[in-house]
A and B are shown apart, each in its own frame.
Chain A
Amino acid sequence: GAGVSQSPSNKVTEKGKDVELRCDPISGHTALYWYRQRLGQGLEFLIYFQGNSAPDKSGLPSDRFSAERTGESVSTLTIQRTQQEDSAVYLCASSPYLSTDYTFGSGTRLTVV
């Protein structure tokens, strides 16, 4: 596609439920990143995928958070047993190999009630 696509754009879930967020990167972009942005805050790095290399998971805040990516395609970010503090916009970005220029998606706004 022309840009990074994220779905759903909005998600409201009950505390304790699991959610899955999806990111479709730009075709040919080998690198994929997930960030979290709480209301009024900057972006927090969560996880980075580069091709078939082991992902950098150093930003995941707890073991309730996990992400997968198959090859250079779609990625899913899963949050288990959601808590109210998980409420945020989850942003995905992709970039070509060794490029420093990200293209971000519009994000998924997650609200945990």
Chain B
Amino acid sequence: DAKTTQPPSMDCAEGRAANLPCNHSTISGNEYVYWYRQIHSQGPQYIIHGLKNNETNEMASLIITEDRKSSTLILPHATLRDTAVYYCIVRGSGTYKYIFGTGTRLKVLA
């Protein structure tokens, strides 16, 4: 699976949009971009995934660049409960293992 690079930490003011970047410059054509988050003392939680088109669900939006070498997870109105570690993972359609890096620790500030 392709390697991903994320900033180790970010802060965001409550109510503002949180934009979490991820680089995956070695991604191949059949690999999807997944985002999970892990709130303290809990297991990771699925957020969203995409292949090349931008995706939106009730939790977040995923913007993938045209060359697919990077993506951004957007939490449109961050709340204190969004404080967590966010993992960007690239995974092929024929594989089942996720390779988790160390993620981005997002802190939402009141």
Interface residues of A (CB under 8 A from B): 4, 31, 33, 35, 40-45, 48, 50, 56, 59, 91, 93, 100-107
Contact = CB atoms under 8 A, between A and B. Distances in A.
Nearest to B43: A104
Task: Summarize A's interface: helix, strand, loop or mixed.
Answer: strand
A93 B43 contact: yes
Interface in B34-54: 34, 41-46, 49
Interface size class, chain B: 20 to 34
B99 interface: yes
A58 to B, nearest CB: 9
Contact of A43 (B32, B46, B91, B100): B100
A31 B95 CA distance: 12
A76 to B, nearest CB: 18
Contacts, number: 51
B101 interface: yes
A101 B46 contact: yes
A93 B45 CA distance: 10
5 contacts: A33-B97, A50-B96, A59-B97, A100-B32, A104-B42
Contacts of B42: 104, 106-107
Contacts of A41: 102
B43 A106 contact: yes
A45 B100 CA distance: 9
B43 A100 contact: no
Nearest to B103: A42
Closest 4 pairs between A and B when the two form their complex, measured CB to CB: A104-B43, A43-B100, A42-B100, A42-B102
